[in-house]
Every structure is written in structure tokens, then in C-alpha cells.
Amino acid sequence: MSQELLYWQALNRAMDVEMAADEAVFTLGEDVGLYGGSYRVTEGLHAKYGEWRVRDTPISENSFTGLGVGAALVGMRPVVEIMTINFLPLALDSIINGAAKIPFMSGGQFRMPLVVRMPGGVARQLGAQHAQRLEHTLMNVPGLRIAVPSTPQDAYWQLRQAIASDEPIILLEHELLYFSKGPVDLLADPPPMHRAALRRAGRDLTIVTYSRHALLSQDAAAELAKEGIEAEVIDLRSLKPIDWDTCASSIEKSHRLLVVEEDCRFAGAGAEIASALAERCFYSLDAPVRRLAGLDIPTPFNGTLEAATIPQVSDIVVAARALCQSGQESKAS
Amino acid sequence: MERDALHRLLRDMLLSRAFEERAAEEYAKGNIVGFLHLYPGEEAVGAGVINAAGPSDYIVSDYREHAHALIRGTPARNVMAELFGRADGMSGGMGGSMHMFDARRRFMGGYAIVGETCPIALGIAYTVAMRSLPEAVICFFGDGAVNQGTFHESLNMAALWRLPLLLVCENNHYAIGTEIHRHSAVVEVYKRAAAYNIPAERVDGMDVIKVYEAARRALERIRGGGGPQFIECETYRFRGHSMADPGTYRPAVEVKAHEAWDPISAAVREIEFRYPTPAELAAAGPDHIGQLAAHMVEAGHLAEIEIEALRKEVNAIVEDAVQFALQSPQPTMDAAWAHLNCNRRHEVLV
């Protein structure tokens, strides 16, 4: 039985279900309590669970994230909300030197059931300090896991799975997805948190993408279908680990790979995805792997320029079309 | 103080000193590699504070923490084996000198990022408060840490929510090579706690009894619902910051002057057998003479010969620890992966 929910509502339901089930679950962050969360994710929880379990914090990202690390060491399941991923640099010590390291460097003596939730991505003219993605910053840190839900259903599932996990999980939520609507089955069994989802089947090329660009890529695939190009769209759902098997079996069928991401191109998530899949699927590929990514530039405030810095649906269509043409000549001769 | 308590303080300090001096020797031999920050000179702080704590209290420490672990009760064998990077080390050889953990004794780790311990201790204290338990969290840090943002952020939150947190500054006057007058606008560290309405006191960190009593008082206030407390222990490290540091930035006369205040010699003087002076007997009054005599029988009979026996005992413990560490196997790469994935349960990843 599924119902239509907004992305933020799905996250809110997940929080509520987990907090009701386990007293060890608590959340903290800037304005998560009385205010209800900047994107409403914690709305109503303060009234229901009280201030100790829904804690408004001072603006001290490193220390309240570290508070979550300390609480996780002694059996709590903290869900830290960092108001936007743009404040992540202030909290990196607690995440990288703390959460990711303690279970390992203690020789496996501690659990680290910590969730850090962060809205991010390019939204609408928020300026360079509020339009970053930064997923690559955390992908390179052993000991962390990163989930990137693109649908309300995944938001619901992956937040619940993240809270239940004993590993530190980063949940990257896209600011433009909070008010997207979709069916959510509250009772269905979820796939594993890191399993990629085949969003659209196709035979001509594989598009590997994640978060909001999984939706844009599906729109692009619908456009491409009108001109007879059938794109297969894989939504990774997880950036650490990455479900390589699902990607590889698609490439073995389509023989072409387009990687689409919103983050800056240089040393971003797409660079890892493209290189790992090129290495693994080299003999299945009919053309070089193609990458479509954000430009390597801070996001301009101006709306037109802002849009020009990240891949749009039309860009994906053009790139896919070009990819399908490349390699054809050599094959014909 | 009771003889047994004094005896324990003295023994902990002697063990810490012997352990660390031996660690320096093993470093010179190449058995210990990497960073090694030694504790000699600061023993009274660890011994006084940790002995004032209860078994259900938590200890969060920094990278100069070998002695803290020993005093907390982790066997010297496992502490030494960790310095050697061996499988029987307290962190399985994954942590090393700066990352010693003993979950069973609530020794919540050594950390190598200055100031990072404050938020971790804050989170443990938050949990204790949330569960309304009669436990406290002790957070050790040096004078260098008080200039980090996390120090101030954590003090603010601890005071805001009245968390059971005892902040212990081991003020050895140096942030590696930068003397406190050159790194802190306020050299009386305890005064910084006033900005957050946290009760604070400064004690002579070379006097183990004063440290112990200050920690006892602070822990009592915490358990009574008094919220976070702050103790600044003025101390001095006799060695450089780490084995890589000859300590040339400190004038020889300064080092010599502090060595004269060796906390171990001070404790030995305190614990040695001594007859009360006529003035002390008179002050005790007629009803207290009997009590005082009984106390002398119980508490006073620690002669020089017994101190020597104690030194022999701790040296034997340290020797045994070194032999144990030398024989402990090297950890495997399989163990390293297992530690990384220790919380994955049965989930199979692609």
C-alpha cells in the first residue's frame, strides 16, 4: 500500500518511525527543534519527543557533530543534521578523524551508529557558499558510507536503514528534491541501502547517475526515446560503496557509458565512476566513456549563469546522442 | 588520606614513570616507531584525577595517554604491545601510541587532533545526562587545546545543558614548542571557564594529593547535579613534546627548576613514615591522640625500603610488558579489514 508523499515528508516519517521504535535514536542540529528544521524534516518531532531527543544546538558544527560521535560510542543512535553541506567543512574533523576512524583504530571495540544528514546541491540562486555538492570530499574517506536518495521512497528507506546501521552513514539530500512528490510504501521491504536502481531500461547506452540528476537523466531518456535512442538509466542511490555489478551488467548490454553528475568534474564522483567502470568493462565498450558534470567553477549567483554550470536535460540529450554516434564509424569500417 | 589510597597513588605514578622511561629506551632500540609522547613530570595529574573517578565514569584522553590507560587499569602488557604495534595491543595494533582504547574500562580513547576530545566527551556526557545516570565523563587536554574552537563550543554546550563533564587541563605550559605566554592571551587557563559559567579551579599539578582532592570535589559537584566542572593542573613535562623533540626551546634552568618539583619525590615525602611534631600532637587535642596514633600505625609505616620494593615491583611489571610485547604477533591485513568492517554485521557489499 503506497501513498503519495513529498521527499521531506518521507524523511520526517522515517525519523518518527525510528524515534518511536528506539529511545536511543535522537537528533540534533541547528533549528531542528522548535523551528522544525530548515527543510521541515524534523517538523513535529520536538513536540512529540522533547528537547533531549530533538536538540536545538548552537552554531557549532564541529562540536555538535562530535557530540554525535561521542554519543554513538556509548550506544546512542544520533542523527546529526548539518543545515547545509556547505557547512560540512566546519564539521569535517568530527566526521573524518572521529566517526570514520574510531571503530578501526580501536581495533573494533566500538560501534559508530551515527547518521549525518545534509541538504546540498545547486538550488535556486543561493550563491557560491550555498550551492556546493562536496560528495567527493567524503567518498575518499575509508570507514564512511554515503547514501544519495533521489525519490521519496528511497529517502524513507535509506534514512531508516542509515539509523539502523552500526556504521557511520552520510545521507546527502538534494535541496531541490524536498518538495518533489512520489509514492512511498511504508511497509515494503527495502533493497540493500547501497543497491543501485534501474530507473529505465534501454539497449543503446547506459547512463549512470545519482541524486537529482537521476531524475533529469530520466527526463533526458524520454526525449532520446523520441528519436529512437533507448537509454538505460541507473540511479546509484549510494556513492560509497557503489553497486558496480548493476552498472557493469548494463554496460555489457548497451556497450556505451555516460556518467552524469552535478558535482564539479575534476576529481569528482564521476571521475571515480568512469575510471572504475572503464577498467572493469573496457572490452564491452564500443566508445570511450563520456562524462557530463558541473563546471569547475564556484556557482555564480546569476540565475542564467548558475544553470549553465550544471548539466541540464538538454545537455544530457546532446551528450547521449554524441556518445551513440561515436564509435559507429570504426565499427562500420 | 588513607594509606592505601596514598599507596595506590604512589604506585600508579611509579609505574607510569617506569613504563615511560622504558618506552623511551625501546624507542631508541627501534622496537617502538612513530610518534611517542611521554608523560614523565605529569604523573600527579593522571594519578590524582583517575583515582578520584569511579569505575563507571568515562575517560577521554589525548595523545599523551599511555599513563592514563595504565592508571585506569589496562594491563601494562597490552599498553606496551600497542606501542609495539602488535596484535595483543589494546587497540589490536591499529591505533598505536596516540590511539589507545579500552572499552571495558570505559577508557574512550586517545586522540591525536588537539581539541577534538572535547566534543567526544561532550557526546558521552550528553548520553549520561539523557539517561539520568550517576556517571561522569572526564576529559583530559593540554594547554594548547584551549585555543581550539571545539574547546569553546564544547564548554558552551556542556554548560548550556548542565552535562556531567569534568574538564581537566594538563597545563604543561607548552603547545609543543610554543610557551603559554606566546600562545594564550590569558595564561591562567582556568579563567577561560568563567566565560561559560563553569566552576573552575587551578591546582598544583605536581602535588598528587591536591589533584586527587580537587577531582574528588569536582566529581561530587557533578554527581550532585552541579553541571560541568573545570580543573587546571599546572604541571611540567620533563621531556620534549615527543621523542622527535629535543626540547631545545626550553631554557635548561627552567627544566632543572621543575625537576626539583618532581611529583614522585613529593609524594614519597608525603607518604614516608614521620612522627607527628609536638605542635601537631597538641593541636589534635587529648581525644584525638589515640586516633592519630592509630592512623600512624595504619597509614604511616611506609619506609624507604618499601619504596624500593615498590620500584622493583613496577620495574618487573614493565619488564614483563616488554617481553610480552616482543612475543606478541604482528597483526594481519585480514585483521585490519575486519576492524574496518567491524560494524557491518552480516551485510554483504558489492
Give the CATH number for residue A201: 3.40.50.920
* Per-residue model confidence (pLDDT) at position B286: 42
**Rounded mean pLDDT, B244-254:** 81
Give the fold, CATH level 3, of B3-271+303-340: Rossmann fold (3.40.50)
Q: Do A235 and A176 share a domain, yes or no? A: no
ipTM reported for the complex, 2 dp: 0.95
- B342 to A244: CB separation less than 8 angstroms, yes or no: no
Cβ contacts (< 8 Å) between A67 and chain B: which residues?
119, 122-123, 126, 157
A-chain residues near B342 (CB < 8 A): 103-104, 108
Q: What is the pLDDT of residue B350?
A: 61
To the nearest whole Å, the CA of B94 is away from the closest chain A CA by: 5
pLDDT of A329 above 90: no
Within this chain, do residues A178 and A32 fall inside the same structural domain, yes or no?
Answer: yes
Q: In what order do the strands lie in the sheet with A238-240?
A: A54-56, A25-29, A77-81, A115-120, A169-174, A145-147, A238-240
CB contacts, 8 Å: B349 with chain A: 194, 241
DSSP B187: S
Using DSSP's 3-state secondary structure scheme, residue A188 falls into coil
Please report whether residue A222 resides in a domain: yes
Q: Does the residue A120 lie in any domain?
A: yes
Closest C-alpha among B253, B232, B244, B261 to residue B169: B232
| DSSP string over A15-68 | HHHHHHH-TTEEEEETTSSTT--TTSTTTTHHHHH-TTTEEE--S-HHHHHHHH
Per CB-CB distance under 8 Å, the chain A contacts of B116 are: 66, 93-94, 97-98
Q: Give the distance from residue B12's alpha carbon to the nearest chain A alpha carbon, in angstroms.
A: 24
Torsion-angle region of residue B104: left (phi > 0), alpha (psi -120 to 50) or beta?
alpha
Give chain A positions within 8 Å (CB) of B129.
52
Beta-strand runs (E) in B40-81: 58-61
Mark whether A210 and A143 lie in a shared domain.
no
Q: What is the CA radius of gyration of chain A?
A: 20
Check residues B247 and B30 and name the one with the higher pLDDT: B30
Range with lowest mean pLDDT among A268-272, A326-330, B243-247: A326-330
In a mutagenesis test of the B interface, which of A74, A94, A111, A144 is the best target, namely the one with the most B β-carbons within 10 Å?
A74
> Is the CB of residue A243 less than 8 Å away from at least one CB of chain B?
yes
The per-residue pLDDT of chain A, averaged, comes to: 96
Per residue in B259-308, pLDDT tens? 877 877 777 665 554 444 556 545 544 433 233 233 333 555 466 667 78
Contact B157 A94 (CB under 8 A): no
Would you say the pTM of this structure is higher than 0.90? yes
The residue of chain A nearest to residue B121, with distances taken between CA atoms, is: A70
Amino acid at A106: S
Could you give the C-alpha distances from A173 to A133, A142, A301, B131, in angstroms and in order? 10, 21, 21, 31
* Interchain contact A104–B (C-beta under 8 A): yes
- Give B-chain residues touching A245 at CB under 8 angstroms: 350
Q: Quick one: three-class SS letters along B273-326?
A: CCCCCHHHHHHHCHHHHHHHHHHHHHHCCCCHHHHHHHHHHHHHHHHHHHHHHH
**Segments forming the whole domain that contains residue A170:** 2-185
Say if residue A151 is in the same domain as residue A46. yes
Residues A42 and A68 grouped into a single domain: yes
Say how many residues make up chain B.
350
> What confidence score (pLDDT) does residue B49 get?
98
Q: Is residue A190 one of the residues assigned to a domain?
A: no
Residues A23 and A120 reside in one and the same domain: yes
Question: Domain for residue A12, yes or no?
Answer: yes
Domain co-membership, A171 together with A264: no
Position A75 in a domain: yes
Q: Does A256 touch chain B (CB under 8 A)?
A: no
Same structural domain, A170 and A202: no
Inter-chain CB proximity B340 and A76 less than 8 Å = no
At B247 the pLDDT is 80
Does A191 map to a domain?
Answer: no
Kindly state whether residues A142 and A234 are assigned to the same domain. no
Long-range pairs for A263-268 at CB < 8 Å and ≥24 separation?
A: A263/A133, A263/A134, A263/A135, A263/A136, A263/A293, A263/A294, A264/A133, A264/A293, A264/A294, A264/A295, A264/A296, A264/A297, A265/A291, A265/A293, A265/A294, A265/A295, A265/A296, A266/A296, A267/A136, A268/A133, A268/A135, A268/A136, A268/A293, A268/A294
Contact A66 B90 (CB under 8 A): no
pLDDT in tens, A145-198: 999 999 999 999 999 999 999 999 999 999 999 999 999 999 999 999 999 999
Q: What mean pLDDT do residues B210-215 have?
A: 96
Among the partner-chain residues B103, B344, B350, the one whose CB lies closest to the CB of A244 is B350
The residues spanned by each domain of chain B are 3-271+303-340
Helix, coil or strand: residue A87? helix
- Mean pLDDT, residues B316-336 taken together: 98
**Whether residues A85 and A234 fall in one domain:** no
Catalytic residue numbers of A read: 61, 130
Residue matched to cell numbers 545526562: B129
The verdict on A50 touching B (C-beta cutoff 8 Å) is no
Question: What's the CA gap between B212 and B9, in Å, rounded?
Answer: 9
Tracing cell 568563567 back to the chain, one arrives at B194
3-state secondary structure of A235: strand
pLDDT at residue B250 is higher than 90: no
B113, closest residue in chain A (CA to CA)? A97
B60 by DSSP, 3-state: which?
strand
More confident residue, B3 or B319: B319
Is the distance from CB of B254 to CB of B41 less than 8 angstroms?
no
Q: Does A142 reach chain B within 8 Å, measured CB to CB?
A: yes
A185, A205, A225 - which closes a domain: A185
Query: What residues are paired with A205 via a beta bridge?
Result: A231
- Closest residue in A to B345 (Cα–Cα): A166
Number of domains in chain A: 2
Place of cell 592519630: B292
Inspect the interface and report whether the beta carbons of A70 and B120 lie closer than 8 Å.
yes
User: Which cell numbers hold the place of A275?
Assistant: 575510471
Which pLDDT belongs to residue B347? Answer: 78
DSSP-based three-state secondary structure for B340: helix
Does A70 touch chain B if contact means CB atoms closer than 8 Å? yes
**Cis peptide before A241, with omega less than 30 degrees from 0?**
yes
Q: Do residue A219 and residue A319 come from a single domain? A: yes
Say if the Cβ atoms of A107 and B343 lie within 8 Å. Answer: no
The C-alpha cell 570511450 sits at A288
- Lowest model confidence (mean pLDDT) among A203-212, A308-317, B2-11, B34-43: B2-11
Do A99 and A248 have their domain in common?
Answer: no
With 90 as the cut, is the pLDDT of residue A326 above it?
no
- pLDDT: is B78 or B306 the higher one? B78
Inter-chain touch B123–A113, beta carbons under 8 Å? no
Choose the closest CB to B124 out of A53, A71, A106. A71
Of A78, A107, A195, nearest to B94 by CB-CB distance is: A107
pLDDT bin (cut points 50, 70, 90) of residue B87 is very high
Contact B87, B331 (CB under 8 A): yes
B103 vs A contacts (CB less than 8 Å): 106, 109-110
If residue A253 lies in a helix (H) or strand (E), which one and from where to where?
A: helix A244-254
B152 grid coordinates: 569553546
Distance of CA B216 to the CA centre of its chain: 15
Of all residues in chain B, the one with the smallest CA distance to A194 is B349
For chain B, give the mean pLDDT.
89
Domain assignment of residue A13, yes or no: yes
Average pLDDT over residues A81-88: 97
Over the stretch B307-323, which tens digit does the pLDDT of each residue have?
Answer: 788 889 999 999 999 99
Q: Per-residue pLDDT tens for A264-316? A: 999 999 999 999 999 999 999 999 999 999 999 999 999 999 999 999 999 99
Confidence of residue A333 (pLDDT cuts 50, 70, 90): very low
d(CA A258, CA A245): 16
A67: nearest CA in chain B? B123
**Domain closes at, from A151, A185, A219:** A185
Across the interface, whether the CB atoms of A74 and B118 are under 8 A apart is answered no
Q: How many CB pairs under 8 A join A and B?
A: 153
pLDDT (0 to 100) of residue B261: 74
Mean pLDDT over B138-166 rounds to 97
In angstroms, the CA B122 to CA B128 distance is 10
Dihedral through CA B87, CA B89, CA B92, CA B96, nearest 10?
-120
The one-letter amino acid code at B314 reads V
From B339's Cα to the closest Cα of chain A, the distance in A is: 5
